[in-house]
Each structure stands twice: as C-alpha cells, then as structure tokens.
Amino acid sequence: MSEPTVASVARGLTEALSKSTTSTSRVRVSTDESDRVAYARDLWPRHLVGLREGRAPGERPQAIAWPESTEQVASLVRWCAQEGVPIVPYGAGSGVCGGILPDARTVVVDLKRMKNWRKLDRDAPTLDVEAGAMGITLEEDLQRDGFTIGHFPSSILCSTVGGWIAARGAGQASGRYGKIEDMVVDLEMVDGRGDVAKLSRRFGSPDLLPLVIGSEGTLGVITSATMRLHPAPATRGFASFAFRSTEAGWEAMRLLFQHGLRPAVARLYDPFDAAIARMGGVKSPAQGQAKSQSKVRTVGAGGKALQAILRAPRALNGLIEALERVPASGKFRAMLVLVFEGDATHTRDGVDAARALITASGGEDLGEGPAQRWLTHRYAVSYRQPPTIRTGAFLDTMEVAAPWSKLGGLYHDVRKALGKHVFVMAHLSHAYPDGCSIYFTFAGAAGKVGDGGKSTEETYDRAWRDALDAAIGAGGTASHHHGVGRSKAPRLGQELGVGVDVVRLLKAAFDPGKIFNLGNLLPDSPRHPGASESAIPTRLEIDETSLLAQAPATTKLSTIEDAARTLGLTLGLDSGSHSGSHSGSGGVLEMTVGAYVDAGYPGSFDRWVDPVDHPLAGLVARLRDGRILVVRPGPRRAVGPDLVALVAGARGRFLTTLGAHLRLYKLGGLTPATAPLRLEREPPTSAGEKLLLDAIEHALHAG
C-alpha cells in the first residue's frame, strides 16, 4: 500500500465522513498549514524549550478533523484503519507529558465540537456528556443547575472531559470527590475497528473502564461519558495550620484521612513554598498578567540573572535545606490549607474535628485566611505558560505518589535527585487513607561551562531521568495524575515490568491495526521477563502506617482480620461499617484473598459512597505464560491502564491472583459518605463489552 498523500487523506476523510447519515452539516477537515502547526504538540515543557530555541518539536500532522457525532468518529476510524492512517485523539492540548506528537502521516481528531449534554438525570444524579465539553463551561453550567462533578484540575480552563479521562486526571477537590476514575459511571468509545462500545462500571464482574481511563488515546477515541454528580456545595469551611517541618505536616494529613475525614482540599506546602505563598506569590489574574508583561520588557537583565542562579542549583537547594533544619520559627514553616465542602453541618463538623486532631498533634492554628486566599487564587497562574521559558530557563512539575510508609523516602530521594540539576520545591496534595501524592515544582537552565556546558535540554532530560529513577526506586509511582506521554515512557518498564507487555496486548485487543496515538505511553523496549518468584508474598505483613495488609492469595480473610484486630484495625467486612453494595458479608471472612479479589471484593464498602478509598492497593498475579506481574502498592496512579481490572471481579478469566495489598481501617473510626448515587451497581454487559472482553482474553492467552 502506497503512503497516502495529504490531499488523498483530506479527500478520503471528507468522503468517509459525508456518509454519516446523522450529520446535519459538513464536517470540517483541514490541511491548512496553520492548523497543522497548531495541532503538532501539547504543552510539554521540553517542547517549549525547543520552540524557544527555534526548533519545532516534531513533524506536523497531515490533517485535522472536527467530527460532531459518534457516528462520524466511527466512520473516520474505519477509514483510517482501512488505509493505515494513524489517529491522535485531541481534547484541548493542555497535557504536559508529550502525549500529542503526531507524525507526518497522522490525522488529529479534535473532539471539541462534540460538547453536548445527552442526558441529565437529576434523580441519580448523573450527566451523560460528550467528550469535547470544556471543563470550566461544563462545571459552571452544572452549578447553575445545582450540581457539581467535583473535578477541578488546574487545567479546568483549557481541558476537556475526554482529556480528563484519557489522562486519568485529578482535581483540586479530590479529597472529597476522588479522581476522575472515581467519577465515571460509564463511557462510550470507538475502538480500532471503528466499532462503538459502551463500557459500564461494575464491581462483581469484569469492568473495562479502568483499562480505558488513563490509556492516553492509545486504545480508542472516547466520545462521551456518564459522570456521577454531587449536589453543589451549600457552604465551605476553611482551616490552615503551620508545622515545624514538612514531615510533621504530612503526618497530620495522614491522621485526618485515616480518621475518616474528607476535606475536599488538603494541600501541604514545604517551608519554602509556604513562604512564597505568604509573601504573595500567588497573584490575581490581572496582577499576574502585569507581572508577566514586565518580565518580557526586562528579559535581558532579568533573564541573565535568573539563568545565573539556576546554573548553580545545588547551592540554592543547600541553602533552603539548611534553613529547614533550623528550629522552626517565624514564617519559615510548612503550611497546610484545608477546605471542607457540603452542607453547613458537614463543613462545621469537619473543620472542628480537623482542628482538634491537628492541634493535638502539634500543628499551630493559622485560622481561615490562608485557605480562603488559596481558594480565591486557585486558577490564577496554573494555566499560563511560565515566563521563565523566555529567559532561557524552564519550569516544570512532577507528581508522584506512594503509601504513607514510603512517603519520606519518596520525598527526600526525588528532591535530592532533582536538586543536582535544578532548583526544587514541593507541596503535597491528593491525600488518601493509604498514601499521598507529592507535587514537585522545579526550575533549571543550561549548565555552566565548567560543568560540561550542558544545554538546557540536556539539563532538563538529566533532571527527569534521575528523578524518575529515584521515585520508582523509593517505591513510588512515576505519575499520580499527569499521565505518562513520552516524558515518562522510557522509565515505565521500571515500574510496571511485565505490565508494559500486558498493555501492549491490551492495545492489540482494542486497536488491532495499531492506529491510535503511536509512540505515546509505551516505551520502545524488549519483552519483559516478569518479576521473579520472590515477588510472590509468602506470609501476612501489615503496614500500620499505610493501613495495608499484604498477604498471599491462599490466606483466609479471617486470618488477616484476627491479626488486624490485635492492632486496633479491621478489614471492615464483618462489622458492616464499610459494607455497601456487597452487604450481607457474614461468610466473606472465610474466603481466601485470591477468591475475594477475583469476586470483586464482596462485603467491602460501596465505592460510590466513599470515592476517595479503594479496597486494594497492590497486586501480584501470574500471566498465562507463567510470567509474574507486580502492581506495586499505591494510593492512586496514572501510568496507563489500571491492570488491577484484569483481576478484580474477573474470576480468573485473564490472570491468576498470587497476592494482594488490602486496605485496613481503624476500629471506631468515622465512616465517610458522600451524597447517595441511585444507579445499578452491576449493569448488564453490553454487546461491545462482550466483544472486547473476548478480544482481551484471546490477546492475553495468545501473547
């Protein structure tokens, strides 16, 4: 088959889309140079560095299409599959990991014309909305109707529903509403055959949603999603606290979430980041714009000064670390801001309980002011390209996560690894009962001549390489909510191991023609041998800090429960305190760990009731070819499809469970609950799901 030309692709797309019987207007397909340039990348900072130095990040796609219906997307995909033309689904281009980098053969499919509400169910409540809906418009419209999705990413002004789902994103209010994977009831997608499938969330049988959420456009095109809604908050409660150290601050966060409190926002700033916030580092939009324009006018002197500082990051980082070691005094302390949402009783009780817990553990009450200021300025600067790019430097962020017991190692190891190359500061957000995310912000520039004269790009690449190695080595995940893209793909095998091969097999099932977002997410690496037999747990181990129990698949749940109760903990299966959709759990404790996981956690809490929690944090399983897959324990991750879905509720259809990390609860702790969700917990399997399940089973068994 000859390579298609730009003209033939545009003509073929137009003809294919014109066959859509539901189209009310001609679908636009563009090969204009300006469009091809605009859709050639996302906001990966490495691309911005190259652009500043006069280098385009890659080739331009040969065409851009703007479908207006699922049928049009399916027609487009079928034509591209037949012709061997790659496709890159496109939301708003706000990703920061290099997930958008089409080659010269590619068609970019922009979904923003698919933005309609299909159905608002006020009784459930849920909203079926098309994938191209822009975040801020959607949320504002919903709140006028009395609802919220609860998803407030920093990119909400320039991101779409489909992008949120594809990247497995997190919003600023994740402490109450969870991440995006906790909000999707079902979704509609077009796979690589051009078939339309509806995937629904379920618990006691196979659930394909976790495989598509976070797949970063590599498995198909998401065309719509049904989102769980909450009542728009009637009130908010605010609290802020200072701590002698960052570690003392995250201990307070751990105490809050393990006690059962669910502040919508819980953000802990390290001493330097907190000092900047107190000095007014977060400006209003107008002030921020004025500051940005001022930097443009003084880029010569200011840029040189900034580069000089950033060329010696070790000295600057050393100074900050020395200040942090001084006994806490004045304003150089870590700071935690909390925002509770809901009705008046919930917010008042939440703030009072948080204040009592935190002050008793050594935190100093700072009142409402810092938390209120944070909320006022929550989007003031996050969506702008940093002016540091113009000065010859770069600014980037890295979000990682780990269980509480590993958080100290993660924080210090990543900070040390980055600190060799760039100036670094951090805050912690997105906390859960079993762990937390750390969000590193770092700035750098080209190396000094005496240091080998590294270019800005070389400094950037070395900083990322060393930081990812440190994060994975410390037992963390490489991404909590930004995703993988091309930025982290080279290190994905270090975290997932044979899981990378499993994702490739999933791609073969969903996208047999290999047309979706080629080069994204998956690294170029040989077949992985899998973990060694020593990775299989041989005895029960309880992590009291993270409230996790690791056990072999053959261990009875009653054995774990007996051991947990001696420590004041419980699996929460027999008392009913965490039971929901799988209530009536009297006999569950006689199940083995393997049977419990394979059945979808019968007797566990209803995950719609507390979306912040999850029954299983980690997994060890065997593939049909004998290789061992390890999903390391973590509170949440965004490193491609969630492979736990191939075991949980699947009853051994795909993989064999060998061991698991199960969640434990404190006896007598609070039982958190959000607003009720009235929908079926185990919906029937759709025809599209059945086809995909068969394809996955075939791929895994043949792979």
Q: What is the pLDDT of residues 120-158, one digit of tens each?
A: 999 999 999 999 999 999 999 999 999 999 999 999 999
**In angstroms, rounded to a whole number, what is the distance separating the alpha carbons of residues 345 and 342?**
8
Question: What average pLDDT is seen over the chain?
Answer: 90
DSSP secondary structure, 105-163, as one string:
T-EEEE-TT---EEEEETTTTEEEEETT-BHHHHHHHHHHTTEE-----TTGGG-BHHH
Beta strands 107-110 and 87-90: pairing type?
Answer: parallel
- 2, pLDDT greater than 60: no
**In angstroms, rounded to a whole number, what is the distance separating the alpha carbons of residues 169 and 167?**
5
DSSP assignment letter at 3: P
- 531, pLDDT greater than 70: yes
Inter-CA distances, 575 with 580, 585, 671, Å: 12, 9, 12
The ranges assigned to domains in the chain are 6-110, 235-476, 533-672
- 585, pLDDT greater than 50: no
562 pLDDT tier (thresholds 50, 70, 90): very high
List the one residue out of 326, 544, 421, 393 whose CA is nearest residue 52: 393
pLDDT score at 456:
87
Give the model confidence (pLDDT) of 5-38 as tens digits: 666 776 777 676 666 544 445 678 999 999 999 9
Radius of gyration of the chain from Cα atoms? 25
Q: Which helix (H) or strand (E) holds 334?
A: strand 334-342
User: Environment class of residue 397 by beta-carbon count within 10 Å: exposed (0-12), middle (13-18) or buried (19+)?
Assistant: middle
Rounded to the nearest angstrom, the gap between the alpha carbon of residue 241 and the centroid of all alpha carbons in its chain is 27
Q: Which residues pair with 222 in a beta bridge?
A: 189
- 494, pLDDT greater than 90: yes
Q: Which residues pair with 437 in a beta bridge?
A: 401, 429
Inter-CA distances, 168 with 126, 152, 183, 448, Å: 19, 13, 11, 38
At the topology level, CATH places domain 235-476 in: Vanillyl-alcohol Oxidase; Chain A, domain 3 (3.40.462)
Q: Which of 285-294, 341-350, 357-366, 537-546 has the lowest mean pLDDT?
A: 285-294
Inter-CA distances, 418 with 157, 365, 462, Å: 29, 32, 9
- Alpha helices (H) in 192-260, listed in sequence order: 209-212, 246-259
DSSP assignment letter at 527: P
Rounded to the nearest angstrom, the gap between the alpha carbon of residue 461 and the centroid of all alpha carbons in its chain is 22
The percentage of the chain sitting over the pLDDT mark of 70, rounded to a whole number, equals 87
Q: Which residues pair with 404 in a beta bridge?
A: none
E-strand stretches of 229-361: 230-231, 235-243, 265-269, 334-342
**In angstroms, rounded to a whole number, what is the distance separating the alpha carbons of residues 166 and 215?**
6
User: Environment class of residue 2 by beta-carbon count within 10 Å: exposed (0-12), middle (13-18) or buried (19+)?
Assistant: exposed
pLDDT score at 372:
96
At the topology level, CATH places domain 6-110 in: 3.30.43
At the topology level, CATH places domain 533-672 in: 3.30.465
The residue type of 97 is: C
List the one residue out of 435, 433, 413 whose CA is nearest residue 424: 413
384 pLDDT tier (thresholds 50, 70, 90): low
Q: How many CA atoms lie within 13 A of 489 on its CB side?
A: 17
Give the model confidence (pLDDT) of 425-464 as tens digits: 999 999 999 999 999 999 998 765 445 556 888 999 999 9
Greater confidence (319 vs 260) lies with 260
List the one residue out of 536, 578, 548 whose CA is nearest residue 402: 548
**In angstroms, rounded to a whole number, what is the distance separating the alpha carbons of residues 670 and 609?**
13
258-284 mean pLDDT: 80
- 303, pLDDT greater than 70: no
pLDDT score at 586:
58
Greater confidence (14 vs 410) lies with 410
> Phi then psi for 24, rounded to 5 degrees?
-100, -5
Q: Which residues pair with 52 in a beta bridge?
A: none
